[in-house]
C-alpha cells in the first residue's frame, strides 16, 4: 500500500462552490473557493448513495459497495502520495453523510481533447505533440516508479495547468503493482555467459523434458481467476462499460494471476490495451499502449481502433494494425512501437525516451519550460468582497441530483450495462473569442 500522512480535512461549509466543471457516474467536479481566501480548487465529490447502491445492486450480490469504497480510499492514498509537477496533490478531503470529496488544484486550461478540438485542423503539429508526449512520459514514469499503473490514459484525463504544463488526473481506475525493474545500465559490461553443460547433465535434462511433454495439455491452464491486491474482485459481467470500474473478467475462463500482474478489466473503450481485453493479466505496459492511442489521436484527430460498437472496437484492438497514413516519420514509427499488441514486444520506457522522435528533448529541464504550446487565460475568481457574486451551489444537492438522474436514465441497467462509464466528463466552457490557437511554428527543443 501507499504510505502517506493523513490528508487534511476540509469543512464543506468553508468551501464556496462556484460552478460545475464535470459530471460522472457517481460524482461531480466543482470549482470551489475557500471562504477563508486562497486559490480556487477543484473538488471531486462522490455520492455515498451511489456507493450504497452498488452494494445492494452489485452483480451477483458481491460486495460492490466495499469495492467502491476501496477504490475511493485508494484514489485518496494515491493523491496523497503524489509529489510531482505534472500530477495533482491532495489539498484536502471532504466527508459528510451524503458525499466524500477530494480537493486538488484547479487547472484553468481544460483538457487536452478540448484543446485539440479547438484547433483549426482539429489536430496538433509534431512539435506540439512532442512537448505534450514528453510530459506524459515523465508523468507515467513517475507513477510507475511508485508502483502505480494508471490504466485510464486518455485526453479527457490530461488537463492544462495555469502555466501551460500538463496534469494527469482521475486515479479511480489505477492499481498498485510491484515496481518495474530499473532500465539496464548500458555502461556496465554484460555478465559472462553460463558454462556449457556437460554431456551427462544434458542427457538428464532431455529425459526430464520428455516426461514434461507427457503432461496433459489442460494441466497447463488454471480456471482460478485472480486480481491484484489493490483491485476489487472481478464482476461476473462480461460486458464492461467504456470507462469500467466493475472489474469484469475478460470473458471465458480466466487464467491464474501472474506475479506482478492484474487480471482486472478496466479502462475506456477506445484506449484499452489488448492484454486487458484478453484477460490474461496486464502490467505497466498498458499505460504505454494508452500513450500510443493518445499520440495517434493528437496526430489524426481520432482514435485508431474505433468501431461501430464495443464488440467491433475490441475486435479491431485485438486484430487490426493502426492505419498510419502519411510518410514514415519518427512520430509514426513511435506510435507503431507503442501500439504493438504483444506487451512483451512493446517499446520499453527507457527506449521511448531515447527514440528518434524525442531527439533534442532536454528531459532534465522539460518541466521548467517557460512557454509551453498553450498558456490559458486565467479568469479572476469572483469573491464575496466584489459584491456581485452569484449564489453558491449546494454541492450535496447537485451530487444527489446527478446520481438520481443517471439512475433514472439507466432504467434498471447495471453499471456494467451502462455505456456512460464511471469516469468524469468535463463540461467545456465556451471558449472566449477568438478560440485558443496554438502557434503552428511552436518550437521548444
Catalytic residue among 152, 172, 283, 415: 152
Cell representation of residue 182? 530499473
Residue 389 makes CB contacts below 8 A (sequence gap 6+) with 382, 383
Helices (H), 32-111: 48-57, 64-81
Chain-centroid distance, C-alpha 245: 12
Query: Distance between CA atoms of 27 and 131, rounded to whole angstroms?
Result: 32
Strand partners, 105: 41
Query: Distance between CA atoms of 101 and 122, rounded to whole angstroms?
Result: 34
Q: What is the greatest pairwise CA distance in the chain?
A: 92
Enclosing H/E stretch for 132: helix 126-145
Cis peptide, bond prior to residue 434, ω within 30 of zero = yes
What phi-psi label fits residue 329: left (phi over 0), alpha (psi between -120 and 50 degrees) or beta? beta
**In this structure, what DSSP letter does residue 19 have?**
E
Cell representation of residue 332? 509514426
Burial of 191 (0-12, 13-18, 19+ CB in 10 A): exposed
HSE at residue 217, side-chain half, CA atoms within 13 A, is 0
Instruction: Please name which of 198, 119, 69, 35 lies closest in space to residue 374, comparing C-alpha atoms.
Output: 119
Helix, strand, coil shares of the chain, percent, nearest 5, are 35, 15, 50
Active site residue 152: yes
Indicate which residues carry an active-site annotation. 152
Amino acid at each position: 500500500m501507499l504510505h502517506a500522512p493523513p490528508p487534511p480535512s476540509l469543512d464543506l461549509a468553508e468551501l464556496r462552490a462556484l460552478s460545475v466543471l464535470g459530471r460522472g457516474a457517481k460524482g461531480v467536479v466543482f470549482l470551489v473557493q475557500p471562504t477563508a481566501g486562497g486559490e480556487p480548487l477543484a473538488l471531486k465529490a462522490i455520492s455515498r448513495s451511489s456507493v450504497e447502491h452498488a452494494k445492494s445492486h452489485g452483480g451477483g450480490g458481491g460486495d460492490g459497495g466495499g469495492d467502491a469504497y476501496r477504490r475511493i480510499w485508494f484514489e485518496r492514498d494515491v493523491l496523497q502520495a503524489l509529489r510531482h509537477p505534472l500530477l495533482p496533490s491532495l489539498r484536502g478531503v471532504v466527508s459528510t453523510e451524503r458525499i466524500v470529496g477530494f480537493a486538488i488544484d484547479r487547472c484553468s486550461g481544460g483538457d487536452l481533447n478540448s484543446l485539440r478540438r479547438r484547433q483549426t485542423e482539429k489536430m496538433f503539429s509534431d512539435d506540439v505533440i512532442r512537448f505534450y508526449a514528453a510530459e506524459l512520459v515523465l508523468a507515467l514514469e513517475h507513477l510507475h516508479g511508485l508502483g502505480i499503473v494508471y490504466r485510464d490514459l486518455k485526453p479527457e484525463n490530461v488537463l492544462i495547468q495555469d502555466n501551460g504544463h500538463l496534469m494527469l488526473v482521475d486515479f479511480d481506475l489505477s492499481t498498485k503493482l510491484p515496481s518495474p525493474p530499473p532500465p539496464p545500465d548500458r555502461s556496465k559490461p554484460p555478465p559472462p555467459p553460463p558454462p556449457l553443460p556437460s554431456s551427462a547433465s544434458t542427457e538428464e535434462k532431455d529425459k526430464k523434458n520428455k516426461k514434461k511433454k507427457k503432461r496433459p495439455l489442460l494441466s497447463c491452464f488454471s480456471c482460478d481467476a485472480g486480481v491484484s491486491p489493490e483491485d476489487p474482485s472481478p464482476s461476473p459481467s462480461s460486458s464492461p462499460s467504456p470507462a469500467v470500474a466493475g472489474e469484469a473478467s475478460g470473458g471465458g475462463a480466466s487464467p491464474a494471476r501472474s506475479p506482478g500482474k492484474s487480471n482486472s478489466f478496466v479502462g475506456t473503450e477506445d484506449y484499452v490495451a489488448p492484454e486487458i481485453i484478453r484477460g490474461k493479466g496486464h502490467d505497466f505496459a498498458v499505460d504505454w499502449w494508452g500513450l500510443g492511442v493518445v499520440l495517434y489521436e493528437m496526430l489524426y484527430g481520432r482514435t485508431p481502433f474505433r468501431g461501430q460498437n464495443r464488440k467491433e472496437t475490441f475486435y479491431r484492438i485485438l486484430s487490426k494494425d493502426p492505419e498510419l497514413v502519411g510518410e514514415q516519420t519518427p512520430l509514426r514509427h513511435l506510435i507503431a512501437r507503442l501500439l504493438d499488441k504483444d506487451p512483451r514486444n512493446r517499446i520499453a520506457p527507457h527506449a521511448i525516451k531515447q527514440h528518434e522522435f524525442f531527439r533534442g528533448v532536454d528531459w532534465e529541464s522539460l518541466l521548467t519550460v517557460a512557454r509551453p504550446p498553450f498558456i490559458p487565460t486565467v479568469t479572476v475568481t469572483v469573491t464575496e468582497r466584489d459584491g456581485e457574486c452569484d449564489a453558491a451551489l449546494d454541492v450535496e444537492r447537485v451530487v444527489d441530483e446527478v446520481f438520481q438522474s443517471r439512475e433514472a436514465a439507466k432504467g434498471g441497467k447495471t453499471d456494467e450495462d451502462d455505456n456512460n462509464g464511471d469516469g468524469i466528463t468535463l463540461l467545456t466552457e465556451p471558449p472566449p473569442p477568438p478560440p485558443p490557437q496554438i502557434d503552428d511554428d511552436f518550437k521548444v527543443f
